[in-house]
Structure 1
Amino acid sequence: MPELPEVETMRRGLFPAIGGTIRRVEFPESRYRPIVMSPAPNLWASSLVGRSILGIDRIAKRVLIRLDDDFQIVLQPKMAGLTLIADPPTLEHIRLVIHLENAHCERILYWDRRGLGTAHIWSADQCDQFLGPAVLGTDALKIDAKEFHQRYGKLKRPVKPALLDQRLVAGVGNLYASEILHRAAIDPRTLCLRISKPKWHRIHQIMQQVLLDAIDNEGSTLSDGTYRNAINGEGGFQHFHLVYARDGQICTSCRSGTIRRIVQSQRSTFFCSECQKRA
């Protein structure tokens, strides 16, 4: 967390900043671990002040604040980061404040409870180097069914961990992989090469629909309450989860199975063994 739907919600929430000019950059003092940044914090002001915000983009699970002269601020929330234009959940976890003028918001905040996120100022060439096709697969909302099958269909790997591999397809994380496979009636332990082409096309269709539905609901705010949208409000897709974090509960899809939790590649996987059959 956050995954593609949450980061896309963050991106859209920063639209009021488009057209604004950066007038000041602030790094509030914090007793918590610092986030990874480049360049060093003391160089951010000289790099950013006076630059205009031309757009807000997303690559996989990162927000890109596009500036003039082909520069971008790249924010990667990782486990618990947020981009905000409203007051944050707590003051002590604010890591970066970008003060604006001539925008429809006064500032952009980067907030991170755990300090695992990253913030970079990169040129277009650096973005291509670190976030281009040599590093990340096609975005999960942009890939077509044919390419999707080509990337996964011959792999001798269980399907759930494969969906988390950002080099293959970018954007799907642990939560949504479990939800996608449940709706596709695929056991997460099934080897990719054992899944038929028509079933891969179905996984592709369900993946994109689940991600779009989650975006429409502004992402998922889990029981820890960490994820918030740009105005510090909760997402709503958690109310539509069918398996994630529901281990021990009756499956609402088949009404006969019980949701199980297993560990795959050191990550929790949730599924119903009654409706999700192993090939």
Structure 2
Amino acid sequence: MPELPEVETMCRGIAPIVGQTIVQINRPPCERKAISIKPSVKTIAKKAVGQKVQRIDRLGKRVLIVLENESAIVIEPRMTGLVLLADPPSTEHLRLQIILHGKPDHNVLFWDRRGLGTVQLLNPSELKRSVIDRLGPDALVATADQLKSILGTSRRAIKVALLDQSAIAGVGNLYASEALFVSGIDPRTRCDQLTKPQWQRLCSAIHSVLREAITHEGSTLSDGTYRNALNDAGSYQNYHRVYDRAVQTCKRCQTGSIRRIVQAQRSTFFCPDCQQRRGKHASVDAASPSVDQP
């Protein structure tokens, strides 16, 4: 966390800075664990000050502030990072400030409570080599054939494989659980045991779940950490089908109980009655709960 929907929401939230000029970049005093910033803030400022922001892009779970010289300030929020235009949740975890001049003027802030996030300034060749070439297809546009080609011979459990950013970029723990539920697939199923219809259903579920979550500006969980660019909570947590709903009744079959297991040291949530290891489960034909009904 944040995953693709939260990072996409951050990107859309800071879109008003496009066309504005960077006038200052600084690292506010912070007594907490220092985050990784490469090159140094002084070097980044030397190269970026005076540049206009050409566009805002997203690569997997990274925010890209692309400058007019095609270099990009790449921010990877990781576990608790936020990219903000509004005042941060607290000043003690403020890691980077980018001051811009335009109409109106904006400050982009990177806030990170746990200090696991990273910031890099990369030129196009560096970006391709160190980021783009290491990522799988973006989860919003990946096809079923791509997923099957990349993961179809793997002996890993499908839930674990979906967290591999070199296989598919943007899906994390939360949305993997949700997509597997929507597609009716048991998260423990080995990739090489999935049928073609299951790959097709899974790909469709990934797309629909991520788009739903983006519509609701992501999920703010019980710790309250994730916020959008204006420091407001997302609302997709109100529509989760299985994530963090252990022992609660399944919203689809109304008979099964959501189960929590641990896979690759991460919590997985699923309904044993609705999700099976092979073939098409009859319950998948039933409409999934609408996102308009928490």
* Counterpart residue number, 2:25: 25
* Counterpart residue number, 1:13: 13
Structure-to-structure mapping, 1:42-57, within 5 angstroms: 42-57=42-57
Q: Distance in 1 between matches of 2:63 and 2:161?
A: 24
Q: Distance in 1 between matches of 2:45 and 2:264?
A: 41
Q: Distance in 1 between matches of 2:161 and 2:193?
A: 13
Instruction: Tell me the TM-score normalized by structure 1.
Output: 0.97
* Counterpart residue number, 1:195: 194
Judge conservation of contact 2:59–2:132 (CA < 8 Å) in 1: no
Structure-to-structure mapping, 1:196-215, within 5 angstroms: 196-215=195-214
Deviation at 1:248, TM superposition (A): 1.6
- Residue identity (%): 49
Q: Distance in 2 between matches of 1:205 and 1:87?
A: 37
Judge conservation of contact 2:99–2:108 (CA < 8 Å) in 1: yes
Shift in alpha-carbon separation, 1:117–1:12, aligned structure 2, 3 A? same
Deviation at 1:26, TM superposition (A): 1.9
Q: Which runs of 5+ in 2 are unaligned?
A: 279-294
Q: Deviations over 1:213-247 (max 9, x none)?
A: 11111110001010000001111111110111111
Q: Which amino acid aligns with 1:151?
A: I
* Counterpart residue number, 1:175: 174
Q: Distance in 2 between matches of 1:131 and 1:41?
A: 20
Structure-to-structure mapping, 1:47-196, within 5 angstroms: 47-133=47-133, 135-196=134-195
Judge conservation of contact 1:21–1:103 (CA < 8 Å) in 2: no
* Counterpart residue number, 2:222: 223
Q: Which amino acid aligns with 2:257?
A: T
* Counterpart residue number, 1:278: 277
Q: Distance in 2 between matches of 1:59 and 1:216?
A: 19
The alignment partner of 2:24 has SS state of strand
Q: Distance in 2 between matches of 1:224 and 1:45?
A: 34
Q: Which amino acid aligns with 1:209?
A: S
Q: Deviations over 1:98-130 (max 9, x none)?
A: 011014442100010111000011101110011
Q: Distance in 1 between matches of 2:5 and 2:61?
A: 9
Q: Distance in 2 between matches of 1:226 and 1:148?
A: 31
Aligned residue pairs total 278
Q: Does 253-262 or 148-157 show the bigger shift?
A: 148-157
Deviation at 1:277, TM superposition (A): 1.5
Q: Distance in 1 between matches of 2:7 and 2:68?
A: 22
Shift in alpha-carbon separation, 1:178–1:117, aligned structure 2, 3 A? same
* Counterpart residue number, 2:283: none
Deviation at 1:42, TM superposition (A): 2.6
Q: Distance in 1 between matches of 2:112 and 2:156?
A: 33
Judge conservation of contact 1:153–1:197 (CA < 8 Å) in 2: no
Judge conservation of contact 1:18–1:103 (CA < 8 Å) in 2: no
Counterpart check, 1:4 vs 2:4 = yes
Deviation at 1:57, TM superposition (A): 0.2
Judge conservation of contact 1:10–1:83 (CA < 8 Å) in 2: yes
Q: Which runs of 5+ in 1 are unaligned?
A: none
Q: Deviations over 1:146-202 (max 9, x none)?
A: 222222222211110011111111110000000000111111001111111011101
The alignment partner of 2:69 has SS state of helix
Q: Distance in 2 between matches of 1:154 and 1:234?
A: 39
Q: Which amino acid aligns with 1:191?
A: R
Judge conservation of contact 1:9–1:218 (CA < 8 Å) in 2: yes
Q: Distance in 2 between matches of 1:105 and 1:240?
A: 36
Judge conservation of contact 1:55–1:67 (CA < 8 Å) in 2: yes
Q: Distance in 2 between matches of 1:105 and 1:267?
A: 41
